[in-house]
């Protein structure tokens, strides 16, 4: 259960106490209480960098897409949020060209109680409910508001691209 403290500065709780209680890191997150449609695990050689996948939510143009992300923790986690980026191309009002995500809980509404499941679930709901008033991609925001069909077409192109990636 102590996986979360891996990044706590400067001396993680898992080391302050004993390491015995800590399960293997890749197993500890999503087996406990796996939310649907997301998954993630640390990379083999660096526990501070996680790979994750979000499945496009049903009944949205993102449906069937498998979008890859990286989650990069610093030693300040959980006091500060990790950096989360889409690796897959995502056409969305709140996703920057470089995959960066404009989401309040990853910025000014970060709570130290958020774990990887909470982060991924929030990003998944952002896919369903974009916030076009705070655009990271102005074209996507504009199309979302004014030309939903074209928006959906562009999103679906990303969905198809996500199969190939």
Partner 1 sequence: MDSFKQNDGNRDELIIQQQRDIEKEISDSTPLVGEQLPLTCLWAEYNGDDVFTAKIQDLAKKYKFIRRTRPDGNCFFRAFAYSYMEYLISNNSAYKEFQKLAEDSKDKLVELGFPSFTLEDFHETFMEVIRRVSPDNPGGYNKVQSELHKIFNEQGYSDYVVVYLRLITSGKLQEEAEFYQNFIEGDFTIEEFRHQEVEPMFKESDHIHIIALCAALGAGVRVEYLDRGEGCIVKAHDFPEGTEPTIYLIYRPGHYDILYPN
Which residues sit at the interface with partner 1, rule CB under 8 A? 1-2, 4-5, 8-13, 16, 32-33, 78-80, 89, 91, 96-98, 100, 104-105, 108-115, 118, 135-139
Give the relative orientation of helices 138-146 and 148-164 as an angle to the nearest 10 degrees: 130
Cβ 154 to partner 1, closest distance in Å? 9
**Residues designated as active site:** 102
* Cβ proximity to partner 1, 59 vs 72, nearer residue: 72
Nearest C-alpha neighbor of 153 from the set 61, 56, 64, 89:
61
Q: How far is the CB of 45 from partner 1 (least distance, A)?
A: 25
Six-digit token string for 13: 């709780």
Q: How far is the CB of 79 from partner 1 (least distance, A)?
A: 4
CB nearer partner 1, residue 64 or residue 76 = 76
3-state SS assignment for residue 80: coil
Upper half-sphere CA count for residue 18 (Cβ side, 13 Å): 2
Q: Which is nearer to partner 1, 4 or 53 (CB)?
A: 4
The strand pairing partners of 77, in sequence order, are none
């Amino acid at each position: 259960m102590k996986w979360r403290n891996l990044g706590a500065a400067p001396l993680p709780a898992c080391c302050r106490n004993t390491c015995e209680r800590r399960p293997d890191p890749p197993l500890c997150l999503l087996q406990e209480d796996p939310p649907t449609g997301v998954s993630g695990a640390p990379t083999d050689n660096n526990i501070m960098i996680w790979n994750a996948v979000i499945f496009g939510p049903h009944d949205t143009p993102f449906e069937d897409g498998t979008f890859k992300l990286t989650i990069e923790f610093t030693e300040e986690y959980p006091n500060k949020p990790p950096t989360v980026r889409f690796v897959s191309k995502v056409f969305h009002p709140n996703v920057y060209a470089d995959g960066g995500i404009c989401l309040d809980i990853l910025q000014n509404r970060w709570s130290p109680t958020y774990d990887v499941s909470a982060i991924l679930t929030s990003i998944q709901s952002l896919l369903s409910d974009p916030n076009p008033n705070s655009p990271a991609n102005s074209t996507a925001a504009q199309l979302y508001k004014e030309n939903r069909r074209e928006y959906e077409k562009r999103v679906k192109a990303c969905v198809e691209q996500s199969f190939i990636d």
